A and B are shown apart, each in its own frame.
Chain A
Amino acid sequence: MTIMESGGATLLGRAKSTAPALARTILRCGRSVMVAAGLVATVACNDMLRVDDPVNLTPDDLQGGATALTVNGVRGAFQSMFDYYVMHTAILTDEMILAGTFPYRAEMDARSITSNNEGLLGDLYTPLSTARFMADTAVAILDAAAGSGGDEAERLQGVAIAKYYAAYSRMLLAEAFCKSAINGGQGLTSDERMADALTAFQDAGSAAQAAGDAELIAASKLGEARANLWLGQYPAAASAAAEVPDDFSFKAYYSTASVAQKNKIVRLTYAIDEARRFTVGDGSLTFTGYEEWAYFDEWESLGLLEKRPDLTSFNAAVPVVLQLKYLTADAPIVMASGTEARLIEAEVKLRDSDPAGAAAIVNDLRSSHWGLGAISFSGDLATDLPVMARERARELWLTGERLPTLRRYLEDGVDLFPGGKQGTDTCFPVPQRELDTNPNF
C-alpha cells in the first residue's frame, strides 16, 4: 500500500530536494496546459455524451406527415380516455355506483366533487384534454404535410378523422365540465364550449366531404345535432339528425391484445381481475346512502343487469350487480348512432309540441330493440322529459349520454339527478391544476 503523506511536517525539508526535474517543469507550465486541455476535452467530446432514446418519439420523427401513425395516435388517445369518461360520468348520474374505495371516486358518487380531486384531473380532464390536443395537433401536422408528395387521399381522410375527434372531444368537455379551457386559454362555460364544438363538427363535416367519407359525414352531422340540441337550437338539431341513417354507428374500439387496449368498463365492472370497483345500485346501503338505479327492475327483466350475490365487490361492502352490456374487454363503445339521431328527432318533436310524433319514433325503438310495448307522451314537458330520459337511458346506457341528458333537462326544470347524496353537483368542476397553472383561465 502506498500512502502519500501529502502535508506532513516531516516532509517539508525533503520534498524540495527530491522533486524531479520533470515535476518541476510541469509545475511551472503544466497547470494551465492541463486545465485548458481538460476544458477542451470536456467541451469537445459531445459524441461521448450523446445518448439516443429508442423508446420514445420526438416531434422530428413526425415530420413529413406519417399519416397513419398520426391518425392512429388520435384514435388511441380518444379510446383510452373514453371508457374512463363513460364510467366517471356514470357514477355522477348513478348509471353505476361505486363499489371500490378510492375517495376521489366517492366524491363523484356523492356528487360532491372538489377541484383537487385526483380522478377529476388524472382520469377525466387531462386525458380528455390530451385527446383534444392530439386531434388538433394531428390536423396541424397533416395540413402541413399537404403537397409533400404523400398519399393525398389518405391525408385528406386523416384530416377528416382528426377533425371529428377534435370536435367530439370539445363536445365532451362541454357536456361534462362546468367550465373548460383549450391550449391554456380562457375558461369557457359549457354553452360556450358547445358552440365551439358545433363549429368544429361543421368543420369536420366539410373535411369529411372533401375526403368523401360517408361514415364521417354522418358522424359529423350527428355531432352537429347533439351540439344544437344542447344549445337549444332544436330545428337545426332535428335537421342534422335527419341526415343520419338508422343503421349508422361510430364506435370507440378496444382489444384484448394488451391491458392498455382493453375496455375499462369491462375491467372495472365485470372482469374478475379488477375486483369489481363499480356496480349497479340495487337499493342497498352504500357509502353515499341507499342507492338504487331508477330503472333497476325493468332492466333486470330485460337482461341488462344481473344480481350476483355470490360475487364480492372490491370494497366487500356493496352487493354486486353486473352490467351485461359490455361482456368482453374488446367490446366497443358507441360514440354516435342512428338510434341517437332518432332520439334527438323524437325529443325535438316533443319540444315542438308533437308528442305523437315523438312517441312514434320512441315506440319503434322500444319494439325493435327491446320488444317493449308502446308508450305515449302527454304533451307536458315536465311529465314527458322523465319518460324520454328513461328511453334515452336504456338506449344509450354507458355511452356518456346520461350526464348531458340530465343537465339539459335540468335547464327545463326537470331534476333527474340522483337524490339522497351529500352533494348537488351537476357537472365536474375544473381541476385545481388548470386553475393554478393557466393564468388565462
Chain B
Amino acid sequence: MPEGKFRRAARLLVVPLLLPLLVAASASSAAAQGGTISGTIIDAGTNQPLVAAQVFITGTTLGSTTGADGKYSISGVQPGTVEVNVRRIGYASTTRQVQVAEGQTATADFALSSAAVSLSEIVVTATGEQRKREIGNAVSTIDASKQTELKAPTNIATLIQGNATGVDITSASGTVGNAANIKIRGNTSINLDNTPIVYVDGARINTDARSRGVGGAMSDRMLDIDPSNIASIEIVKGPAAATLYGTEAAAGVIRITTKNGGGGSEGAQFSAHGEYGISWDPNDYSVRAWNPHIDLGDQYKDTTYYIDNLKGSADIPDKALYYDPFRNGPIGKLGISLRGGSEKVNYFTSFDWKDQKGVFVTNGERAYNLRGNFTLKPRENVTIAISNGYTTSSTAYNYNDGESWGYIGAVTLGQPMWTPIMAVDPNAGGAAMQTCPRALEEARITGESLADVTAATCNYDRTFQGSNNFARLETMDNQVKLERYTGSATLTHTQGSVWTNRLTVGYDAYSEYGWNMIPNVPLKVLDSDPSRNVSDIQNRTVTLEATTALNFNLTDKWLSQTTFGGQYYTKQLRGAMPSATNFPPGAYTVGNGAATEGDEAFNEVRTMGVFVQEQLSFADRLYITPAVRFDRNSAFGDNLGSVAYPKVSASWVMSEEAWFPRLPVDEFRLRGAWGTSGKQPGSFDATTLLQVTAVTLPDGSAASGFSTLRQGNPELKPERGQELELGFDASLFEHRLGLEFTYFDKLTKDALVLRPLPPSQGFTSVWDNVGGVKNKGFEAAVDATLLRSEGTTWSMRLAATHVTSMITELAAPIPVGGRGLQEHREGYAFGAYFMRPVSIDGSDQVVVAEDPVYVGQPTPTYTGSLSSTLSLLGNRLTLYGQLGMSAGNKQVNYTEVYQCRQSFGTCAAKYERDANGNPTREARLKADPAANFEPYMFLYDGGFVKLRSLSAQYNLPDSWAGRLGADRVSVSVTGTNLATWTDYPGPDPEVNSQGRQNASQRDFFSAGQTRAVSFGLILNY
C-alpha cells in the first residue's frame, strides 16, 4: 500500500479505536446504585456456556450480553423482585423472578433449551430492535458463530448457503475470489442488480462485483466480510419487509451483526482458532473428441489421457512447458480475539488471517482482518455501539471462467496431434526422438523419415488452444489489492420505556487497486505485446440514520409505538484506469510503456428518505403495523418528486389466546404483510448522455469528439416492488419441533428496462419504466429435535423454497447474455432459454424459424437443504452434515458448443444417426454454425444434489483443556462439497461463467466448484 494511503488508513483506525476508551474513562466514574444481578447462561443440552445471549430486566432498559464464558452482570437494578428474561438465537426464551437487595449481588443462572422457532428472539429492523413476534413478515436469522464452527465457510456466501429459506446462493465458479450470486425470492429487476443491500452493524456497505478482465471472473466486495467476525445475520426478504429501507431494498436486505464483548464476564476472554485444509478439483472436464477427419487413435480423444500425459510422464520432453496446472490448494486460517468488559464498557477485538490457494497455479487470495467493536454505556439510558472493521487482501485471478484461452480451454481445445512425444522412427527404428502424433502417423502412412516429417509438421506450441501452454499462462499477472474500512457508531438514548432515540453514522470506504498484466518476458501469454491495464477504484458509502420511537398505552391492553425516522445515504465511486503496452523487461509501470492510455470513472448516488411507522399491539399478542416511507434520489428523473412506499403488517400470537390448546403447541402465530419498496435507476440514467471519444485527424493528431451514449428520460422513476406474504410459525412438543411456512407473491411494477430504440434513431437505448416481473412461491422449514437425552442431541432441519418467476410485462423481447440463447420475453420465465427450430427446405438450405420456442429457464424453481446435527459423548462430539439441492433449471454447456464449432466432434455425439450409424444429413446441416442450433444440443437439466458440508467437532475434556490453561479446546474436521449427484454431464452444474448476473447463465470453460477437507482448532481462555 502506498505510504500515504497507509497513513490515512491508520488515522481512520486510530480515531474509532481510541474514542471508546476516552468515553469509557468518563463512564467509569458514574457509580451505579441499587443491586446487581449476575450469572451464567449455558446450553441445557451440552452444558456449554452460551456467548451472545441477551439478558435484560423486564420493564426497564437494563440489559447485558454474555461473553464467551456465558457470564453476564447487570447493575443498577432497583431493589425488590424483578423479572429477568434471557434470549438467544436458536433457543427458547426463558424468564425468572429474581430478588435483588440494595448493594447486593443476586445470582441468576439459566440453562436454555434449543428451539428452532422462538418468537421472543430479537431481530434488528429499520426502526430498531424488535421481537420476532411483533413483526408481520418472515425474517431468517442465522447464528453465524455456530455455523462458522460447523461449516468452516471460506466466505459469507457459503456461510449463508442452505441456512435461510428463500435465499439462493451460488458461487460463479471454483475460482478463489470469484463472485457469488445471492438472490432472495427470485430475480426482482430485469436490468438492475438483484443482489440484496447489506448493512454491517447499521452501516450500509458496498457490495459491487467487478469484472477482472480474465473472462467472467469478478471480484466481489460482498465477500470481504470475514465470517469469523460475524455474530448473526438477519435476512429481510422482500418489499413487504423492506419497505422502510426504501428505494434500493426491493431485492431484500441482509443485516450483519458482528461480535461484541460480554457485559459482565469475569475478565477478558481470549480465543484463538486455526484451520488448515486442502482443496482440489474433483471435476471431469469435457472429453476430447478431436476432428473425426484425422484419426490419431482413440487415446487422443480422451482429455484425461491428454492431461495425464502432460503431468510429467517420461514422454514429455519439455516439462517446463507441460507441467500440471492443477494443484491441491491449501487453505490456512488463523485468528485471535479478545473480548470482555463490564456492564459499562465492553469490547471485542480480533485479528484474522486467511490464505487460500486456488486449484490452478496462479489463483489465490490472502486476507487480513482487524476488528474492534466497543459498546459503551456512559449513562444508564445511553448506549453507544462502535463497530470498526479493517480488511486488506490480495487476490490473484487467472484465465478461465468464460475465457477459451485459459487453463481449461488450453486442455479442452488443445490439439493432441501436436503433443510432444518421444517415439522411434516406424520406418527406420533407432533411438526415440521428440516428435508429435501427427508426424508419427504421417511417417507410418507415407514411409518418410520420421525426422523429416517431424521437422515439416510438428508445431508443439499448437498443442494448446491459441498457443497458450501452461507455462505461458503462468506468466499472466492479474491481481487485486484491497484496503477497506467499515465502521459505524450507533447512539441509543432511552427515556424510561416510553421514548427511544437512535442515531447511526455508517462509513464504508475501500480502495481496490487491480491490474491485468502480460509481463515482458520471453514466453508471454497469447504471445502478445507486453501490456498492463490498471484499475484504481475508490468507493465510499456513507449512511446517516436517525429514528425516534414513542410508546404509550392507549388502553389497558392496547399499546402504541410510533417511530419516526430519516435516512441519508450516499455512494460514490471514483476510478482511474491507466494502461500501457510495450514496456521494457522489469519496468512495468504504466509510465514506462511505449504507448499509454488512461481513463477515469465517476459515479454517485444519493438518497434521502423519511418514514413513519405506527405499531399497535393488543395484549402483547396481536400487532398491527402500518408505515410509509418517502424517498428522493439523485437518479430520479427531473420530473419526478418524492416517492412513497407504504406497508402494513400484522402478527397474531394465537397460542397465547385463552382458547388456544396448550399442548402440544408451545407457540403459534399467524403473520401477514403487504408492502412496497423500490429499486432506483443508475446514477445518470435519466439524462441524455454523449460520450467523449478520441478521434484521429487527417494529420495523425488526436482530438476530442463526441458520440451518442444513451437517450435520457426525464420521467424516469424507481421500479416498484410490491409484495404480499402470509405465513405462520409454530413450536411444538416443548420446542422439539419447529415449523415455518411463508407464501409470498411479489410483483415488480414499472421495472426499469433498458428499452431498445430503433438503431436508425441514433441512440440505441433508453431507460424506461416499462417492465414487470412476478415472483411467487413458498418457503417452508421443519426443524426437529429427534433426540434430546442426557449427553446426546440429534436435530434435523429441512428447508425448501419454491419460486416461479415470470416476466409479466415487456413491450419487446430483450436478448440476454449475447449468445442468442436467452431472452426476457413477456409471459415466460426470467431470462428463459428459447430455441428457434431449424429445418431443411427443398433446396437443402437450413431454415431457421423466426418464432422461438421456450425450452427452459436458467434459475431453479426449487431449492432446498437438509441439515443434521448429532451431538454425542456428553455432547462433546458434534457431527454435522448439510445437503443442498436445486431443481427446475437448465444449464447450457457452452464449452461443448465451442468444441463443436471448432470441429472437436462434440456435435458428432449428438447427431441423429441413420440405420448404418452415420449422422443424418439433416443432423449435420442443423449443426451448421449459421443455424446457431448447437446451444440447444448442449442444454441440460441443471438440477443437482450436493453434499455441501460434513464435519465432526470434538470438545476435549475439561481436564485436557485445563492442562493447556484453556476453558475450552475444540478440534474439528470439515469436508466441503464432498459429493454431487446430477444429470448434468459437464464438470459442475453450479457455475456461471458470467460471474454475478441477473439472468445470463452458462458454463463456458468454468472452473468447477472445488472439494476441500480442513482441520480446525479452537482455544478459548
Contact = CB atoms under 8 A, between A and B. Distances in A.
Interface of A: 1-12, 14-16, 18-20, 22-24, 26-27, 31, 34-35, 38-39, 41-43, 45, 48-51, 53-59, 61-62, 68-77, 79-80, 101, 103, 106-107, 110, 112-116, 118, 121, 125-126, 129-130, 132-134, 137, 180-185, 251, 253-261, 272-273, 275, 287-288, 310, 312, 314-317, 330, 422-424, 431, 433-434, 436-438, 441
Nearest to A26: B550
Given A56-B709, A316-B462, A5 B56 contact: yes
A125 B630 CA distance: 44
A1 B348 CA distance: 14
A263 to B, nearest CB: 9
B700 A330 contact: yes
Given A8-B59, A51-B634, A106 B550 contact: no
Given A12-B620, A72-B697, A258-B694, A316 B415 contact: yes
Nearest to B695: A76
Given A54-B602, A314-B466, A251 B698 contact: yes
Contacts of B318: none
B154 to A, nearest CB: 31
Given A72-B695, A76-B693, A272-B528, A2 B61 contact: yes
Contacts of A35: 564, 610, 612
Contacts of B122: 3
Contact of A76 (B129, B705, B928): B705
Contact of B703 (A1, A18, A23, A72): A72
Contacts of A2: 61, 63, 377, 381, 383, 492, 494
A4 to B, nearest CB: 5
A1 B700 contact: no
A170 B972 CA distance: 72
Given A35-B612, A58-B689, A134 B498 contact: no
Contact of A3 (B129, B562, B929): B129
A192 to B, nearest CB: 14
B608 A41 contact: yes
Contacts, number: 373
A101 B128 contact: no
Given A51-B606, A436-B812, A4 B61 contact: yes
Interface of B: 54, 56, 58-59, 61, 63-65, 83, 85, 122, 128-131, 133-134, 263, 375, 377, 381, 383, 404-405, 413, 415, 459, 461-462, 465-467, 492, 494-500, 526-529, 531, 549-553, 556-557, 559, 561-562, 564, 566, 568, 595, 597, 600-602, 604-612, 615, 617, 619-620, 623, 630-634, 641-642, 683-684, 687-698, 700, 702-709, 712, 756-764, 812-813, 815, 818-820, 836, 845-846, 848, 850, 898, 901-903, 925, 928-930, 932
Contacts of A75: 695-697, 705
A77 B707 contact: yes
29 contacts: A1-B54, A1-B375, A4-B61, A6-B130, A6-B131, A6-B561, A7-B620, A11-B59, A12-B559, A15-B552, A15-B553, A23-B495, A23-B498, A27-B552, A38-B564, A48-B606, A49-B632, A49-B633, A51-B634, A55-B600, A56-B684, A70-B706, A75-B695, A134-B708, A134-B762, A312-B466, A312-B467, A436-B813, A437-B756
Given A9-B620, A75-B695, A130 B707 contact: yes
A3 B813 contact: no
B558 to A, nearest CB: 9
B552 A31 contact: no
A39 B549 CA distance: 18
B759 A4 contact: no
Contact of A61 (B623, B690, B703): B690
B580 to A, nearest CB: 11
A107 to B, nearest CB: 5
The residue among B122, B691, B764 with the most chain A CB atoms within 10 A of its own CB is B764
Contacts of B610: 35, 38-39, 41-42
Contact of B930 (A125, A423, A434, A437): A423
A103 B901 contact: yes
Contacts of A110: 928-930
B706 A73 contact: yes
Nearest to A98: B929
B452 to A, nearest CB: 16
Contacts of A112: 845-846, 928, 930
A7 B617 contact: yes
B761 A184 contact: yes
Given A10-B59, A103-B820, A431-B759, A34 B564 contact: yes
A147 B633 CA distance: 40
Contacts of A258: 597, 694, 702
A7 B526 contact: no
Leading 6 A-B pairs by shortest Cβ distance? A133-B762, A38-B610, A72-B705, A76-B695, A73-B705, A106-B929
A188 B573 CA distance: 45
Contacts of A129: 759-762
B690 A59 contact: yes
Given A27-B550, A38-B610, A437-B812, A121 B705 contact: no
Contact of B693 (A1, A4, A73): A73
B608 to A, nearest CB: 6
B58 A436 contact: no
A264 to B, nearest CB: 13
Contacts of A51: 604-606, 634, 683-684
B602 A317 contact: no
Nearest to A57: B690
B696 A20 contact: no
B482 to A, nearest CB: 24
Contacts of A18: 496-498
Nearest to B636: A49
B759 A126 contact: yes
Given A39-B630, A422-B928, A180 B760 contact: yes
Contacts of A125: 759
Contacts of B500: 4
A45 B607 CA distance: 11
A116 B820 contact: yes
Contacts of B691: 56-57
A316 B902 contact: yes
B61 A275 contact: no
Contact of B630 (A9, A38, A134, A254): A38
B243 to A, nearest CB: 16
Contacts of B134: 6-7
B758 A434 contact: yes
A4 B129 contact: yes
A270 to B, nearest CB: 13
A53 B602 contact: yes
Given A53-B684, A314-B466, 13 more contacts: A3-B61, A3-B63, A15-B553, A19-B496, A38-B610, A56-B690, A101-B902, A110-B930, A114-B848, A257-B702, A273-B528, A310-B459, A423-B845
A184 B693 contact: no
B1004 to A, nearest CB: 12
Contact of A185 (B605, B608, B760): B760
A14 B497 contact: yes
A1 B497 CA distance: 14
Contacts of A133: 708, 760-763
A12 B59 CA distance: 9
Nearest to A435: B758
Contacts of A80: 693
Contacts of A312: 459, 461-462, 466-467
A331 to B, nearest CB: 11
B439 to A, nearest CB: 14
B125 to A, nearest CB: 11
Contacts of B605: 51
A126 B761 CA distance: 9
Given A6-B549, A49-B633, A20 B602 contact: no
The residue among B498, B689, B712 with the most chain A CB atoms within 10 A of its own CB is B498
